[in-house]
Amino acid sequence: MTHSAVIASLVKAYFSGSRIATSLGLPLAKKKRSKAMTFAGKIGLGILLAISFGYMAVMLGFNFYSYQVTGQSLLGTSSLGFFMALVIDFVILLVFSLFSTSGIFYRTKENQLLMTLPITKSDLMISRLIISYLSFFVMHLFVCLPAIVVLFFLPFSLSSLLGALIFLVLSPLVPEAISAFLVTLSIRIGWRKNSRKGGELAFSIILILAIILVYGLGMRMMYATLMEDSASIMPLIELATVAMKYLAPMTFLAKAAAGEMSIGFVWYLLIFAGVCILAELYIRKHFFYCVSVVQNGGGATRKSSHSVLYKAQSPIISLYRREWTNLLSSSGFAFELFGETFIPVILIVMYSAMGIIGQMSEQISMISSSPSFPAIITAALLFMAVMNMCSSTSISRQGKYFYLDRSLPCDSSTFVKAKLLFHMVFGFAPSCLYYAVCVAFFKISPLWLAWMIPMSFLAYLVSGACGLYFDYKSPMLDWKTAQQAVKQNKNGLLGMGMGLAYILVQGAAYYFLTSLISPILGIIATLVIGACSSMLFLDLAFKQASKAYSPA
């Protein structure tokens, strides 16, 4: 076989060969679902996805556009929007590939087999690189396409075509090469697995905050440009100038794309090639060493063993603790779910970036003194409560272990209660903290807490029960990488969609009853709706679980 044929078959094997093969892939329950239903469900899901992604892409496009316009008027370059897109794309790809590179390169079970086959090191490596390129290409498109669309507002030139093409096709290689390098380095210098994970987590939190900041500042610039108030954003412009100076390679590419090709573009190409080649050389040198270290337990299993304690706990608590073990067993799970829980922190950063706008128009005081303000805060926090995938991917996250649960001597309701307990501790407990912060920060009367906290409790209960219902119904158990179980899981979307419907119904009832009759009635109605829905979904979840835990 030629090298390219070998590489192609390695890539194919990775994407098609499911390593959890037939042995435990047991039938969950005999399915009798009409084709039309499945088809309709797929279309509905597709529309939901298209709308949400479309919305985010349009927002991103606006953001880039506002940078572009601001840059044109204040910096005399049209490249600022494209530059921002390059930075965001780079950061996003770096974060996500950092989390999966070690999985794709070193931790994959395939390696045990592949190492014994007569495949050259560079074929193996190139195939891994292509795999990570393909894995993140859609995400890359998501950032890249809006930026390219925004370019259409500039006069067309050959140089912008070239810049856009390079961004589209080649630029993902740089963050992926860098993350492969970083992961290899961390294994090579024998970073302990736990500190490695901590490092990954800290690094990505910083990067995410950076993205949010860029985003928030973009909104700010857009506002200032609209108001023709350039003085207030001068500091931001200075910041952008500094960033463009230090991230020179990206600036050169951005300038080329904006039709301002300069000799610096050659620099970009040189640096690009240099980074890729250096990373390649380094990884090639240490590839087998790292594979063997990782396959032998990460070279980092803790030497000191834990003390041996014999402690009896109730089945529910024991199962609840297992949920934590499962969540923390993979940085993929932890990243996705902790991310959701701490979105409020991210939102606060965003709001404070936009809060400046609010202060200027003295609207925030108007809003926060308006009688409906607590309801708005409640709605925002309820929205966060239902936007989580903790329960709706809970069974899927167990993967093939799930079938073994059927042999455990517990009633199906015990499993469900443990999962719900986990959901409440993971979601509702931190939310109480957020409520306290809101009350203190916006000077809302603590009396509102008496309404907000039960509402939030019910929202978490509804979203937990309904998520469990969907995930028990058709769990996704045969995933290969941890991220798939969470990110590519339609149950997560179904759970969030249902949660959204729940708060919309509640909101509508509150709005109409409050404006037509009285706020007290509105409050009572929301609580009644919450109680009824949680009872309904709990019932559904328990019934579905009893099916899933019965032998099939």
Ligand X SMILES: Nc1ncnc2c1ncn2[C@@H]1O[C@H](COP(=O)(O)OP(=O)(O)O)[C@@H](O)[C@H]1O
Q: Which residues make up the interface to other proteins (CB under 8 A)? A: 23-24, 26-27, 297-298, 301-302, 305-315, 317-319, 321-322, 325-326, 328-329, 400-401, 403-404, 406-411, 550-552
Nearest approach, Cβ of 551 to other proteins (angstroms)?
4
- Options 17, 25, 41, 274; binder of ligand X; rule CB under 6 A: 25
- What does 403 interact with, of other proteins, ligand X, none (CB < 5 to 8 A by kind)? other proteins
| 522 to 202, 360, 505: CA distances (angstroms) | 43, 33, 12
Task: Report the alpha-carbon distance of residue 214 to residue 350 in Å, rounded.
Answer: 10
Which three-class secondary structure state does DSSP give residue 306?
coil
Would you say 36 or 308 has its CB closer to other proteins?
308
| Cα angle for residues 177, 89, 44 (degrees, 5° grid) | 115
Q: Which one, 39 or 401, has the nearer CB to other proteins?
A: 401
Looking at beta carbons only, is 407 or 445 nearer to other proteins?
407
Q: How far apart are CA 221 and CA 232, in angstroms?
A: 9
Q: Which lies closer to ligand X via its Cβ, residue 25 or residue 190?
A: 25
155 binds, among ligand X, other proteins, none (CB under 5 to 8 A by kind): none
| Residue 407 CB, nearest approach to other proteins (Å) | 4
Q: Which does 328 bind (CB under 5 to 8 A by kind): other proteins, ligand X, none?
A: other proteins
Q: Cα(356)–Cα(353) distance, rounded to whole angstroms?
A: 6
CB of 480 to other proteins, least distance (A): 15
Considering only the stretches 19-27, 271-279, 329-337, 543-551, report the one whose residues sit in contact with ligand X under the rule CB under 6 A: 19-27
Residues numbered 501-520 forming contacts with ligand X, rule: CB under 6 A: none
First-to-last CA distance in the chain?
Answer: 45
Radius of gyration of the chain from its Cα atoms, rounded to whole angstroms: 26
Q: Which residue, 28 or 279, is less far from ligand X as judged by CB?
A: 28
Residue 302 contact partner, candidates other proteins, ligand X, none, CB within 5 to 8 A by sort of partner: other proteins
367 is a site residue for ligand X (CB under 6 A)? no
Q: How far is the CB of 257 from other proteins (least distance, A)?
A: 45
Residue 21 touches ligand X, criterion: CB under 6 A: no
Closer residue to ligand X, CB minimum distance, 124 or 477: 477
**Binding partner selected for residue 411 from other proteins, ligand X, none, CB under the kind-specific 5 to 8 Å limit:** other proteins
CA dihedral 211, 327, 321, 411 (to 10 degrees): 130
Q: Which lies closer to other proteins via its Cβ, residue 245 or residue 303?
A: 303
Tokens of 76: 């005399």
Pick from ligand X, other proteins, none: which does 325 bind, CB < 5 to 8 A by kind? other proteins
CB of 545 to other proteins, least distance (A): 14
| Residue 341 token pair | 């829980």
Give the shortest CB-13-to-ligand X separation in angstroms. Answer: 21
Q: Which residues have a Cβ under 8 Å from the Cβ of 16 and sit 6 or more positions away?
A: none
Give the shortest CB-17-to-ligand X separation in angstroms: 17
Q: Residue 33 has which token pair? A: 């679902």
Beta carbon of residue 477, minimum distance to ligand X (angstroms, whole number): 11
Q: At its nearest, how many Å lie between other proteins and the CB of residue 478?
A: 14
Residue of minimal Cβ distance to ligand X: 22
Nearer to other proteins, 2 or 23 (CB): 23
Given the complex with ligand X, which of 23 and 34 has the nearer CB atom?
A: 23
Closest by CA to 340, choosing from 248, 512, 463, 247, is 463
The interface partner of residue 116, options being other proteins, ligand X, none and the CB cut-off 5 to 8 Å by kind, is none
> Measured between alpha carbons, how far is 176 from 100 in angstroms, rounded to an integer?
10
C-alpha span between 33 and 48 (Å, rounded): 22
**Both structure tokens of 193:** 């697995």
For residue 25, the minimal CB distance to ligand X (Å) is 5
Phi-psi category of residue 443: left, alpha or beta, with phi > 0 → left and psi -120 to 50 → alpha = left
- Determine the Cα–Cα distance for residues 47 and 45; give it in Å rounded to an integer: 5
Rounded to the nearest whole angstrom, what is the least distance from the CB of residue 477 to other proteins in the complex?
13
Single-letter amino acid, residue 539: D
Distance CA 81, CA 72 (A): 10
Residues 6+ apart with CB under 8 A from 98: 179, 182, 183, 200, 203, 204
Residue 551 binding target from other proteins, ligand X, none, CB below 5 to 8 Å by type: other proteins
Q: Confirm if 212 and 346 have CB atoms less than 8 A apart.
A: yes
CA 332 from chain center: how many Å?
Answer: 10
Work out which of 1, 3, 18, 26 binds ligand X, going by CB under 6 A: 26
Rounded to the nearest 10°, the torsion over CA 172, 176, 178, 182 is 160
When CB distances are held under 5 to 8 angstroms depending on the partner's kind, the choice from other proteins, ligand X, none that residue 231 binds is: none
From the list 17-25, 125-133, 464-472, 519-527, the region that binds ligand X by CB under 6 A is 17-25
Shortest spacing between CB 26 and ligand X, in angstroms = 5
Contact 259, 154 (CB under 8 A): yes
Closer CB to ligand X, residue 26 or residue 51?
26
Judged by CB under 6 A, does residue 22 bind ligand X?
yes
Kindly give, in sequence order, each residue whose CB lies less than 8 Å from that of residue 209, ignoring residues fewer than 6 positions away: 346, 349
Residues that bind ligand X (CB under 6 A): 22-23, 25-26
